Amino acid sequence: MLSTEKSKNVPAPHIGFLAADLTHKHGWAHYCLSLVGALKRAGVRVTVVAARNSPPFEGMDVLPILPSVDPLEGGMIAGMLRTLPQVRTAFKDCDLIHVAVEPYAPLGAWVAGRRPLVVTGHGSYVLAPEQRRFPASTLYAWAYRRALMACVSHYTERQAKRVVPGIRTVVVNNGVNFEHFGAVQHVGGGGVLSVGAIKARKGTLELVRAMAHVPGARCVIVGSLDIEPEYVQQVREEIARLNLGERVMLTGRVSEAELLRFYAEADVFALVSRNIGWKFEGYGLSLLEASATRLPVIGTTDCGAEDAVIDGVTGLLVAQDDLERGLPDAIHRLLEDRDLASGMGAAGHEHARGQTWEYVAVQMVRLYKEAVSR
């Protein structure tokens, strides 16, 4: 990358930004909304083409024409091809194309031409060249090789390099709205909190089973109950089987005010990310948000959570293949050793203070400037 001093003298390029829906409804969307907002506040000129289910963005023109990624539409390649003329027109004056979610990578490569191309590598979809059928697999491999992939974690970077040898990568971790989460007044007394859709990849069953070995502690699990309904039923049945109905609560989606209240009342945060088939946790943004609220956090190894948690400093990492023993031990340790938990919460708060979306935007702008100056 350009040195900080040198990059100050290079004007920020005009960015053509391919985005998911600009909402907070899912990880891809949250990333797009947060980064576009931070770039706008930094004075970067951004032209946004987004998913067709994207709402308006105040103060910025957004062209919502792309196939939806939540839910992920079938016929994605054909859908992108249909939008190609409009996207080319929208981006005709742009200096660089940034594909902010991997499903649109082929479209970004088609539109970029000779211009620099950046693709954000979040998680499982960096494996598209391996997991999609021909011709999509070949298209994604071509697009990823054509781009500089800005990976949100070192684990995602390793997976991308494994699937597409020789790919150019850089790691730019996700950010956090520190003003929002850092302002939470922590009161504690609420036990364990987990935030994320109830699905197998989030390890909800493993968390419930761990709570059976932490006597007296409460656990609140916040997140959508609609994505994997059969798995949700399994979780409910396990809660009943273990007689945890009084101690484990599934809230479903909650308002932002309720979410902040749960963060304030919790003592420990846990996100039990698991690699299920080809799907993995790219980063685990809720871990960083929990750190911002001064909670000690528990994540898992062999996924992007290794970047979100500084093991032994802001929280604890538990091996995915040792959850049955390691997860209850980690929860019990942080609930019992309040000095340890408080120290990790304070360290996490300071770590999150430096990992804002504004900081992510600064790193991206340096990356953009280097790319266009080559």
Residue-level length of the chain: 374
- Please tell me the total count of domains within the chain: 2
pTM flag (> 0.75): yes
Task: Count Cβ atoms within 10 A of the Cβ of residue 14 and give its class: 0-12 exposed, 13-18 middle, 19 or more buried.
Answer: middle
Compute the distance between CA of residue 327 and CA of residue 300 in angstroms, rounded to an integer. 9
Q: Is the same domain home to 22 and 159?
A: yes
Confidence at residue 73, expressed as pLDDT on a 0 to 100 scale: 87
Average pLDDT for 94-114: 97
Q: Is the same domain home to 133 and 224?
A: no
Q: Is the same domain home to 364 and 346?
A: no
Q: How confident is residue 2, by pLDDT bands cut at 50, 70 and 90?
A: very low
Confidence at residue 9, expressed as pLDDT on a 0 to 100 scale: 63
pLDDT higher than threshold 90 for residue 24? no
Q: Is the same domain home to 191 and 320?
A: yes
Q: Is the same domain home to 73 and 185?
A: no
Compute the distance between CA of residue 270 and CA of residue 299 in angstroms, rounded to an integer. 6
Q: Is the same domain home to 219 and 162?
A: no
pLDDT higher than threshold 90 for residue 228? yes
Confidence at residue 61, expressed as pLDDT on a 0 to 100 scale: 83
Q: Is the same domain home to 25 and 133?
A: yes
Average pLDDT of the chain, as a whole number: 94
Q: Is the same domain home to 332 and 210?
A: yes
Q: Is the same domain home to 106 and 163?
A: yes
Q: How confident is residue 1, by pLDDT bands cut at 50, 70 and 90?
A: very low
Q: Is the same domain home to 189 and 145?
A: no
Provide the residue range defining the domain that includes 185: 178-353
Domain harbouring 296, CATH code? 3.40.50.2000
CB 262 within 8 A of CB 193: yes
pLDDT higher than threshold 70 for residue 314? yes
Q: Is the same domain home to 306 and 160?
A: no
Q: Is the same domain home to 170 and 34?
A: yes
Q: What is the pLDDT of residues 74-93, one digit of tens each?
A: 899 999 999 999 999 999 99
Share of the chain above pLDDT 90, in %: 90
Confidence at residue 311, expressed as pLDDT on a 0 to 100 scale: 97
pLDDT higher than threshold 90 for residue 58? no
**Of the candidates 203, 72, 184, 49, which has an alpha carbon nearest to the alpha carbon of residue 125?**
72
pLDDT higher than threshold 90 for residue 249? yes
Determine how many CB atoms are found less than 10 A away from the CB of residue 354. Answer: 10
